[in-house]
Structure 1
C-alpha cells in the first residue's frame, strides 16, 4: 500500500499531504473487507508474524496451543 502511494506521489497523481489513514486503507489488499474482530493463533506463539498488522489494530488476539 505504501509503495503504491509513494509511486502515485512520484508520478504526480497525489501529493504527500493526500496520504491519510483512509488512503492507506484503500490501497491494502483487504480493502473493502471488514477488519477482523479476533485473530486466533494456534501453536502457542504470541506474535502476529506481521499478519494483517493494519487491519488487526483493534482485534482481540487469542493464542492457544491447539485448535
Structure 2
C-alpha cells in the first residue's frame, strides 16, 4: 500500500511536537481505505512514537475523512 508508505515517510520527517493533518482527499483514496489506514495508525500510535487525533463523528453513517498526527 503506497499510501501507507507515504504516511510513514512523512511521520519520520516530522520533528518532535510537529503536527500533520491527513485527509482522504489529500491521498486520493476512498473513505473505506482511509478508515482502514486510520484504524491501523491508531493501533500503531500505542507504541508511543506519535499520537493520532481522529475527530468525533457527528453522524454514524458518515466516516471522518481526516485525522491529525503529532510526533512524540
TM range (shorter): under 0.3
* TM-score (normalised: structure 1): 0.27
Q: Which has the higher contact order (CA 8 A, sep 6+)?
A: 2
> Normalised by the size of structure 2, how large is the TM-score?
0.25
The structure with the largest strand share of the pair is 2
